[in-house]
């Protein structure tokens, strides 16, 4: 038994057994093995144990999944209508909720995130998203016809068709829900490509959807590499749209795929190098936990994480003390220990990348603090958080997305200079402002070049508010909110002479 949790070693072992069987594509309502496909060991980030030997889908598997989705689109899914689809989305939400511990354990095993995080954040968010889109499509989907000058004009939303969903490895379950909810509510069928490091909850959710009554072929999953399965999905002529979350470099590749094939609609949620401006009057005691969460949540593996801070020079000593104290409150180690707040990074390759970024900055900057928090375990994927101060504006630690628990801090004399420095980046996903004076906060927020700005809090809003970036952080649409339906539907006008 894990202290503070009703999860036993037997529970974890049971879910390991489930994971081992989630080892192939899900096509047409069943697991489908391909002929001669390579298998990739899906490793648990903390202990390195093999969770599943997963077949990597090739172009033939992707084509089979797309054809399965096309058949479902033309048949039972189309005939079901808004009410029927909403009912199934609610049933899926109920099923995920009833099996929430299983999904949380799968996510924690596969991604390495602390179990408390998976149980208390990821699963409830997934359930809430599915329920919200079920309700939304019943009340906000159709456009009423209008009549004028002897003409009846009918304006209707239609599904795009078969939609490709390409998922990141850091939040596979919740990101799946944020894309699957509006895609299915709008009447599409989907082919999902999870990250090859973290496919388990995506396959399991598709399996569960079939178990509770979704028609075969509505949700298909093709685990595989980006070079093989991702490319095949991006180039497929029968895929009408792609919704992608991941790196900017890979997002650009999907734009190329669209141009080379059928000009499918592309929506990208890409990287960020997100700034936080601490205004001169900020109440550091009040906002310290928010800043720490923004930097350390999910081991810094979060597209909207705070990775740069601009703080007033007059408060430098306070900021240094605050960051050192807050890091110490985030223990690092076994994700199934309820005391753990920072788990391992997702893979050896990614941990090595983060370590290289830290070592690179250390070579010319020794003005840093390393977390003094307790670290339990000896996994090479456990990385202690580090804060660098007075980082050069040209340094990769300031300009590049590291995607780990690494924070860069610079001090300013004028707020205008802080805003200019915050905006001097190719990214524009999120930004944060901490302060007291309403006008100063409003002025800074208005000038920040980011798709989402939070004030005195670390958050991305909730699933009812649109989220997406500017510049190289986003393209083509928003996740979350009613606005997300736009990328999963097309508008048709029918003009009747009466």
Long-range contacts of 452-458 (CB under 8 A, 24+ apart): 452/304, 454/430, 456/286, 456/287, 456/290, 457/287, 457/290, 457/432, 458/290, 458/291, 458/293, 458/294, 458/297, 458/306, 458/432
Q: Of how many residues is the chain composed?
A: 498
Q: Which of 55, 269, 361, 401 is catalytic?
A: 269
Q: Which of 270, 303, 361, 401 is catalytic?
A: 303
Whether 269 is a known active-site residue: answer: yes
| Residue 179 backbone phi and psi in degrees, to 5 | -100, -40
| Separation in Å, CA 115 to CA 8, 345, 408 | 12, 14, 28
| Separation in Å, CA 465 to CA 157, 177, 481, 483 | 21, 15, 5, 8
- Tokens 């141009």 label which residue? 259
Whether 270 is a known active-site residue: answer: no
- Three-class HEC string of 394-415: CCHHHHCCCCCCEEEEEEECCH
Long-range contacts of 430-433 (CB under 8 A, 24+ apart): 430/272, 430/274, 430/303, 430/304, 430/454, 430/460, 430/469, 431/274, 431/275, 431/276, 431/277, 432/274, 432/275, 432/276, 432/277, 432/294, 432/306, 432/457, 432/458, 433/276, 433/277, 433/279
Q: What is the CA radius of gyration of the chain?
A: 23
Task: Give me the numbers of helices (H) and strands (E) for the chain, helices first please.
Answer: 16, 22
Instruction: Report how far residue 437's alpha carbon sits from residue 340's, in angstroms, rounded to the nearest whole number.
Output: 36
Who contacts 18 (Cβ-Cβ below 8 Å, separation ≥6)?
102, 106, 204
**Helix residue ranges, H only, 331-484:** 348-362, 396-399, 415-423, 438-447
Q: Are 54 and 195 in contact (CB under 8 A)?
A: no
Q: Which residues are catalytic?
A: 269, 303
């Amino acid at each position: 038994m894990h202290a503070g949790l009703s999860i036993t070693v037997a529970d974890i072992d049971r879910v390991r057994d489930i994971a081992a069987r989630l080892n192939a594509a899900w096509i047409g309502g069943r697991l489908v093995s391909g002929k001669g496909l390579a298998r990739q060991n899906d490793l648990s980030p903390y202990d390195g144990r093999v969770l599943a030997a997963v077949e990597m889908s090739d172009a033939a598997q992707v084509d089979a999944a797309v054809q399965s989705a096309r058949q479902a689109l033309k048949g039972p899914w189309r005939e079901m209508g808004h009410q029927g689809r909403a009912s199934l989305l609610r049933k899926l939400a109920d099923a995920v909720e009833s099996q929430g511990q299983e999904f949380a354990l799968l996510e924690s095993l596969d991604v390495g995130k602390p179990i408390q995080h998976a149980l208390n954040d990821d699963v409830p968010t997934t359930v809430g998203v599915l329920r919200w889109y079920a309700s939304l499509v019943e009340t906000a989907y159709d456009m009423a016809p209008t009549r004028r000058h002897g003409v009846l004009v009918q304006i209707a939303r239609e599904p795009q068709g078969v939609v490709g969903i390409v998922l990141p490895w850091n939040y596979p379950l919740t990101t799946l829900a944020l894309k699957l909810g509006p895609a299915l509510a709008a009447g599409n069928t989907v082919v999902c490509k999870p990250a090859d490091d973290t496919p388990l909850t995506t396959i399991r959710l598709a399996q569960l959807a079939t178990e509770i009554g979704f028609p075969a072929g509505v949700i298909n999953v093709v685990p595989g590499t980006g070079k093989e399965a991702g490319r095949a999905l991006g180039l497929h002529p029968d895929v009408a749209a792609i919704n992608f979350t991941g790196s900017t470099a890979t997002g650009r590749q999907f734009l190329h795929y669209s141009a080379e094939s059928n000009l499918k609609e592309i929506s990208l949620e890409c990287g960020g190098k997100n700034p936080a401006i601490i205004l001169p009057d900020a109440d550091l005691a009040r906002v310290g936990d928010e800043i720490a969460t923004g930097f350390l949540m999910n081991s810094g593996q979060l597209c909207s994480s705070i990775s740069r801070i601009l703080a007033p020079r007059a408060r430098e000593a306070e900021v240094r003390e605050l960051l050192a104290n807050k890091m110490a409150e985030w223990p690092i180690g076994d994700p199934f220990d309820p005391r753990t707040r920072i788990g391992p990074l997702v893979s050896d390759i990614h941990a090595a990348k983060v370590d290289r970024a830290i070592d690179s900055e250390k070579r010319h900057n020794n003005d840093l603090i390393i977390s003094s928090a307790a670290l339990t375990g000896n996994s090479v994927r456990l990385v202690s958080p580090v804060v660098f101060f007075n980082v050069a504006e040209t340094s990769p630690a300031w300009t590049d997305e590291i995607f780990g628990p690494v924070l860069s801090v610079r001090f300013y004399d004028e707020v205008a200079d802080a805003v200019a420095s915050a905006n001097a980046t190719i990214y524009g996903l999120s930004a944060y402002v901490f302060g007291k004076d309403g006008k100063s906060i409003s002025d800074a927020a208005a000038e920040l070049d980011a798709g989402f700005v939070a004030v005195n809090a670390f958050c991305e809003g909730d699933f009812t508010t649109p989220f997406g970036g500017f510049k190289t952080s986003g393209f083509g649409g928003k996740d979350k909110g009613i606005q997300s339906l736009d990328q999963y539907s097309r508008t048709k006008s029918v003009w009747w002479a009466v």
